[in-house]
Amino acid sequence: MEAKAGTAVRLNPFKGCDGPEGTPVPWSPYGRILAQRPNFTLDPLFHAGCYYVQDSSSMYVGHVFRKLLGKDIIGPLRVLDLCAAPGGKTTDLAASLREAVGESFELVANEVIRSRASVLADNVGVWGDPAVTVTSVDPAVIGKSMRGYFDIIVADVPCSGEGMFGKDPRARQEWSPQVVELCAARQKRILADVWPALREGGILIYSTCTYEDAENDSNLEWAADKLGGEIFAPENEFASSGVRMTRHGNLLKEGEVPGGGQWVGALKKTASEEPDRRANIASLRPFESRMQIFDASTPRVELDLQQALRYLHRDSLSLSGAPQGLLVVCYRSHPLGFVKNIGSRCNNLYPKSRRIIMDI
């Protein structure tokens, strides 16, 4: 656990996979492990949603998701990412669904903590997939109001955090056997609360960033027994890359894989569930979309690196030779946002919540 986890990114296949180069992540087709950590804030491609910075072990959830998509599950699909902030797994699921079923899916990204949900909404907006809806409600609300609605639920639940020991000293300080017991009980409550929202025959992907059996295999056994499910034991295709098998899942441990700690298992719902035909996403009061839609009819202007950074800092720009009016400014052909060119200068319309704060 003293080993330093590497820095990894996952490229956005629908924005051309333009981003940092690195060593491929074995279980993610678009994952890259970087030789060193750059300053992502000063890369306009990061702000354009061309890639997402994500721990390579966290990408394993996306791998299990893609494997299950291949088991006779076809569109249209309704998927819930239950504990979604800050958005790494959500964006991975969105890319995987688009490759598997095209536009034939709905993906709800939920985060119960409102402040974290706001970050999630920004990250989803930058990623740029219009099929993703961000919500911020308690799992019990989803279970009661969306009965039998979802085909797949991904629950990367809060845990005791042993898989974070190498990168976060606070995780060590806050850990205790009592915390493990508390987390295991909370995880059971979360699963029980959201379970009615999963249709009969639907799939639950359950994951944590801890190594504790009580929070992993034992909790999956509890869910199968008490809630009504059949455990899928994911096959281990990456033993040579450090992935271990547990009783019912796959375990990635710091020091044995390039990233942090992660455990993933899966469950098929066997309990009967009468779906609520009136259920709809609007009842969850989604966040307003924070996605910028770049109409092809709006003139586009290419910026160099310094101009792009000034724009992202919300500085004023002067674009000589550019047409007046509303323009889309781009970096390496990727849209960053809008300006209104009034001739001598441009009004910078980049969202204030996303601006670069640091000195550029």
> Is 34 a domain residue?
no
Q: Which CATH number goes with the domain that contains 343?
A: 2.30.130.60
Across the beta sheet with 7-11, the strand order is: 23-24, 31-34, 7-11, 51-53
Say whether pTM exceeds 0.85: yes
pLDDT at 92 over 90: yes
What per-residue confidence (pLDDT) applies to 173? 87
Clarify whether residues 148 and 63 are in a common domain.
yes
DSSP string, 288-300: PP-PPP--TTS-E
Residues belonging to the active site: 209
What per-residue confidence (pLDDT) applies to 235? 85
Asked if 267 and 231 touch (Cβ cutoff 8 Å), the reply is yes
> Is 245 a domain residue?
yes
Which structural domain, as residue segments, surrounds residue 349? Answer: 300-354
Clarify whether residues 255 and 128 are in a common domain.
yes
> Is 153 a domain residue?
yes
Clarify whether residues 223 and 327 are in a common domain.
no
pLDDT, tens digit, 9 for 90 and up, residues 111-143? 999 999 999 999 999 999 999 999 999 999 999
Cα–Cα distance, 29 to 8 (Å, whole number): 13
- What value does the mean pLDDT of the chain take? 94
Of 284, 313, 330, which one is at a domain's C-terminal end?
A: 284
> Is 270 a domain residue?
yes
Of 258, 284, 310, which one is at a domain's C-terminal end?
A: 284
> Is 189 a domain residue?
yes
Mean pLDDT, residues 291-308:
95
Of 284, 315, 338, which one is at a domain's C-terminal end?
A: 284
What per-residue confidence (pLDDT) applies to 148? 97
Percentage of residues in the chain with pLDDT exceeding 70? Answer: 98
pLDDT at 1 over 80: no
Q: Which CATH number goes with the domain that contains 128?
A: 3.40.50.150
DSSP summary character for residue 128: T
Question: What φ, ψ does residue 358 adopt, rounded to 5°?
Answer: -65, 160
Residue 78: pLDDT band with limits 50, 70, 90:
very high
Burial (Cβ within 10 Å: 0-12, 13-18, ≥19) of residue 76? exposed
Spatial neighbors of 163 by CB under 8 A, at least 6 apart, are 57, 208, 209, 210, 211, 252, 253, 254, 260, 261, 262, 263
Percentage of residues in the chain with pLDDT exceeding 90? Answer: 88
Clarify whether residues 196 and 70 are in a common domain.
yes
> Is 292 a domain residue?
no
pLDDT at 84 over 90: yes
pLDDT, tens digit, 9 for 90 and up, residues 140-199? 999 999 999 999 999 999 999 888 787 778 888 888 999 999 999 999 999 999 999 999
Clarify whether residues 337 and 253 are in a common domain.
no
Clarify whether residues 305 and 274 are in a common domain.
no
Domain count of the fold of the chain: 2
Clarify whether residues 65 and 195 are in a common domain.
yes
Distance of CA 88 to the CA centre of its chain: 3
Cα–Cα distance, 243 to 236 (Å, whole number): 7
> Is 106 a domain residue?
yes
Residue 64: pLDDT band with limits 50, 70, 90:
very high
Clarify whether residues 101 and 232 are in a common domain.
yes
Clarify whether residues 279 and 304 are in a common domain.
no
